[in-house]
Chain A
Amino acid sequence: MAKKLLNGNEAIALGAHLAGAQVVAGYPGTPSTEIIETIVREDYPGMYAEWAPNEKVALEVAIGASLSGVRAMATMKHVGVNVAADPLMTVTYMGVRGGLVIVTADDPGMHSSQNEQDNRNYARFAKIPMFEPSDSQEAQDMTMRAFSLSEAYDTPVFVRSTTRISHTLTVVQMGEAATDHPERGFVRDQKKLVMIPANARHRHPAVEARLEKLTAFVSKADDLNRVEFRDRSLGIITGGVAYQYVREALPGASVLKLGVSYPIPIETIRSFADEIDRLYVVEELDPFWEMEIRAAGIDVIGKEIIPLTGELTPDIIRRAIAGEDEHQAGVVRDDTGAAEVPGRPPSLCPGCPHRGVFYILNKLNLIVSGDIGCYSLGVMPPLSAMDTLTCMGASIGHAMGMEKGLGADAPDAVAVIGDSPFLHSGMTALADVAYNGGRVTTIILDNHSTAMTGHQGNPASGYNARMQEVPRLDFTAVAKSLGIHDVHRVDPYELDAVERVIRAAQKESGPSVIVADRACVLLDRKSHRGHHTITEDCAACGICLDLGCPALFREGADGPAAINPALCTGCGMCAQVCRFDAVEQEGERS
């Protein structure tokens, strides 16, 4: 079989396919999204894949599938496991029928996340094993292995990836399809599957006994936890992508590579330590292994010299352990002045429908609680119209709390939330607003897709994971049935209408919902209306630049505005804000 270049996510998808997984559910989130996208693209036979509204639902679907006797997988980014933690912490008591694998894709360095929590902690918390691949080959192989282990030990199993595993292409030799499939069919077992207290009390000891067996298993799994003896004066315990960095930075060092992050093989570690003069543990983020190793009385150097935050790199490891000079250690080359290069933060795209809402919110100077999505970029200047951002779905609850905290005289709080986050976990907060007498103005930025992660479908997008047409959930009907009576729909390209409707919502004594309804400009290219140009009437006032549109620029420091025709989509917002009628439409709407 030919070798292929796959990223870690594609390899996990392939591993699940080879293992015969039949049901996969996930919620999109960088760096996990491509697992389900790969399953759909490759159209693996007999494999059902769905985008669930959130990670909790995704895991619950996967648990149900496992109980029906098929192999099942749930995929999510690290913070998604927080959402799925409730079913997670009890399915560990219930166990599985078909193999159940949970993929957590962590994001050290926060390339695209609000925090960099180390989800190895969830394995210890839930008392279930966690595989940790260090390249795509291992991602494929370990995913297959995880399904078998899940069935053999009657336990859910984690596969943990990180951004550098998920988003690195490495060479993969495709494995052979597994033949050890479970038998389909639900088997009633209420004592094991109905977790009323009387039953759950019997299951907890089973969890502890299982963990002991798993610990015994990993102690013997030399293929997963691999000892590589080289120079015995220097030894490194490591795993995941950090293994690759260690091999790169310290090619002569002996290595104990942990392929299972939890439970760890303490006796294997002890005998490795006995052979080594200077022993280090090199792990990204938390001292997860280090604490267990020290607790076992083994002397090791770790977080004293290895950073606790951010991603590791070969340079960091080389500097920390080999103590090489600055030239090697990654000091920015000063001869080109690279350190002085102006920053290039991301921004909302030209023609982005979110821009209209944030422009008006900035103008009205309201307190705005934000949410997770492309529109988080509404915090960037010149729009600067976001004051809080915590996690998926948090905006509405934050606005409610702020309103109650600030008191009756304060203006109504504003929450902005995307279509997908609203369905993920915003709806319950909106019910809270209606139920407990809030006045919050909730703006649902409905761009008809989960755009930031690559336009995945959601229950309001009109298409599913397989891009099949499905009915669209109606936000106005949902808002009304949750108890919000003042509900509006507005085209965010129409700035006057946006301003009018927000002002009206603020005056309304009760809570309001505004659906800013327009498809993502990248999704709906048919909506592009040619491009605009600036005429000689431009007075160089710069007001159009307050839109923060990448297609608009100023010629010279104080010169007139101009439009980059290659970027402009003809949304016309600049024409609406111009006071000198100096923006003209060129080209017809196609």
Chain B
Amino acid sequence: MSFRLKRPVRDIAVVGVGGQGIILATDVIATVFLEAGYDVKKSEVHGMAQRGGSVQSHVRRHPERVYSPLIAERGADVLVSFEAMEALRYASIVADDGLILYNTLKIPTSAMSTGQSPYPRDIDERLKQGSPKVLSVDALRLAQDLGNLRVANTVLVGALSQFIDIPQSLWGDVLSARVPKAAVEVNLRALAAGREIAAEVF
């Protein structure tokens, strides 16, 4: 048990690369908050940025009223990044006593693919220079172990859920309603696997 967040997690930024499934993941988070009785807002970006660009979505909850759909700089309790370098790009949104939860998956940009510039090394070190806690998850490997690469996002949502004061059963119910019937079982296992990883540090 290495750390615990000092306050209830209210403001979550989820970032990654267009096409990674950020809209579905944040839909699940927002729906869990709604069903747990909170006011919720969730912002997202559609359109051209979805074609492989850098994308972000903010989910906010409050017992009474959420105003801005956007989280202020250094306002996020948790940053969930579906891709390693994107965690670095959006690190400044996290509060000093917040958490950065990122997938170690590396997706190169086109300039990197063609050898014009290198993928940044030392991402973990650079993130850890900042004040927020940092938790890296190899979600793709965990998904592979579960036999379905497509549940990597669910692993990350599972890890996030460990830091939120809402029972796992509600996360499972909301997720089950959102994925195809045949994929419910593997998604529930991915959710549990993610929670387990996070529980090791929580």
Q: Are B43 and A164 in contact (CB under 8 A)?
A: yes
Contact residues in A for B50 (Cβ distance below 8 Å): 346
With A111-B49, A346-B53 already in contact, the answer to whether A553 and B40 are too (CB < 8 A) is no
Shortest A79–chain B CB gap in Å is: 13
Q: Other than the known A112-B46, A382-B110, what 15 A-B pairs have Cβ atoms closer than 8 Å?
A: A112-B47, A163-B45, A170-B69, A171-B34, A249-B72, A328-B73, A330-B73, A333-B74, A333-B92, A336-B127, A338-B89, A342-B111, A349-B51, A554-B113, A557-B118
Q: How far is the CA of A33 from the CA of B48 in the complex (A)?
A: 13
Cβ-based interface call for A492 (8 A):
no
Q: How far is the CA of A341 from the CA of B90 in the complex (A)?
A: 9
Shortest B113–chain A CB gap in Å is: 4
Shortest A549–chain B CB gap in Å is: 8
Q: How far is the CA of A330 from the CA of B114 in the complex (A)?
A: 33
Q: Are B69 and A241 in contact (CB under 8 A)?
A: yes
Cβ-based interface call for A348 (8 A):
yes
Cβ-based interface call for A197 (8 A):
no
Listed by A's residue number, 14 A-B pairs whose Cβ atoms lie within 8 Å are A112-B45, A167-B45, A167-B46, A171-B34, A171-B40, A248-B68, A333-B74, A336-B91, A338-B88, A338-B90, A341-B85, A343-B54, A345-B109, A346-B50
Q: Are A452 and B70 in contact (CB under 8 A)?
A: no
Contact residues in A for B138 (Cβ distance below 8 Å): none
Cβ-based interface call for B97 (8 A):
no
Contact residues in B for A382 (Cβ distance below 8 Å): 110, 114
Nearest neighbor of B109 in chain A, beta-carbon distance: A344
Contact residues in A for B109 (Cβ distance below 8 Å): 342-345
Shortest A236–chain B CB gap in Å is: 13
Contact residues in A for B46 (Cβ distance below 8 Å): 30-31, 33, 111-112, 167, 454
Cβ-based interface call for B196 (8 A):
no
Q: How far is the CA of A347 from the CA of B114 in the complex (A)?
A: 14
Q: How far is the CA of A325 from the CA of B46 in the complex (A)?
A: 33
Q: Are B110 and A314 in contact (CB under 8 A)?
A: no
Cβ-based interface call for B21 (8 A):
no
Q: Are A342 and B72 in contact (CB under 8 A)?
A: no
Contact residues in A for B89 (Cβ distance below 8 Å): 338, 341, 344
Q: Are B72 and A112 in contact (CB under 8 A)?
A: no
The stretch of A12-20, A80-88, A372-380, A411-419 in contact with B is A372-380
**B44-91 CB contacts (< 8 Å) to partner A:** 44-54, 66-70, 72-74, 85-86, 88-91
**A527-581 CB contacts (< 8 Å) to partner B:** 542, 545, 548, 550, 552-554, 556-559, 566
With A336-B130, A349-B52, A452-B47 already in contact, the answer to whether A550 and B113 are too (CB < 8 A) is yes
Cβ-based interface call for A247 (8 A):
yes
Interface of A is mostly: loop
Query: In this complex, which of B39, B42, B149 has the most chain A Cβ atoms within 10 angstroms of its Cβ?
Result: B42
Shortest A339–chain B CB gap in Å is: 9
Contact residues in B for A554 (Cβ distance below 8 Å): 113-115
Cβ-based interface call for B112 (8 A):
yes
Q: Are B115 and A550 in contact (CB under 8 A)?
A: no
Cβ-based interface call for B136 (8 A):
no
Nearest neighbor of A349 in chain B, beta-carbon distance: B51
Interface of B is mostly: mixed
Q: Are B51 and A374 in contact (CB under 8 A)?
A: yes
Shortest B10–chain A CB gap in Å is: 13
With A169-B40, A380-B110 already in contact, the answer to whether A5 and B34 are too (CB < 8 A) is yes
> Which of A171, A374, A545 has a CB less than 8 Å from the CB of B113?
A545
Shortest B32–chain A CB gap in Å is: 11
Cβ-based interface call for B167 (8 A):
no
Residues of B within 8 A of A (CB): 17-18, 27, 30-31, 34, 39-54, 66-70, 72-74, 85-86, 88-92, 94, 108-115, 117-118, 120, 126-127, 129-131, 149
With A164-B43, A244-B67 already in contact, the answer to whether A344 and B88 are too (CB < 8 A) is no
> Which of B34, B66, B115, B149 has a CB less than 8 Å from the CB of A3?
B34
Contact residues in A for B86 (Cβ distance below 8 Å): 344
Shortest B158–chain A CB gap in Å is: 21
Q: Are A542 and B90 in contact (CB under 8 A)?
A: no
Q: Are B85 and A331 in contact (CB under 8 A)?
A: no
Q: Are B42 and A168 in contact (CB under 8 A)?
A: yes
Q: How far is the CA of A548 from the CA of B88 in the complex (A)?
A: 25
Cβ-based interface call for A335 (8 A):
yes
Contact residues in A for B92 (Cβ distance below 8 Å): 330-333, 336, 338
Q: Are A347 and B110 in contact (CB under 8 A)?
A: yes
Contact residues in A for B39 (Cβ distance below 8 Å): 171
Shortest B90–chain A CB gap in Å is: 7
Cβ-based interface call for A41 (8 A):
no
Cβ-based interface call for A315 (8 A):
yes
Cβ-based interface call for A188 (8 A):
no
Contact residues in A for B85 (Cβ distance below 8 Å): 341-342, 344
> Which of B42, B72, B91, B129 has a CB less than 8 Å from the CB of A248?
B72
Q: Are B40 and A342 in contact (CB under 8 A)?
A: no
**A305-358 CB contacts (< 8 Å) to partner B:** 313-315, 318, 327-333, 335-338, 341-349
Contact residues in B for A219 (Cβ distance below 8 Å): none
Nearest neighbor of B44 in chain A, beta-carbon distance: A167
Cβ-based interface call for A453 (8 A):
yes
Q: How far is the CA of A336 from the CA of B126 in the complex (A)?
A: 5
Q: How far is the CA of A241 from the CA of B43 in the complex (A)?
A: 12
With A330-B73, A344-B109, A553-B114 already in contact, the answer to whether A170 and B47 are too (CB < 8 A) is no
Contact residues in B for A493 (Cβ distance below 8 Å): none
Q: Are A245 and B68 in contact (CB under 8 A)?
A: yes
Shortest B7–chain A CB gap in Å is: 17
Shortest A77–chain B CB gap in Å is: 10
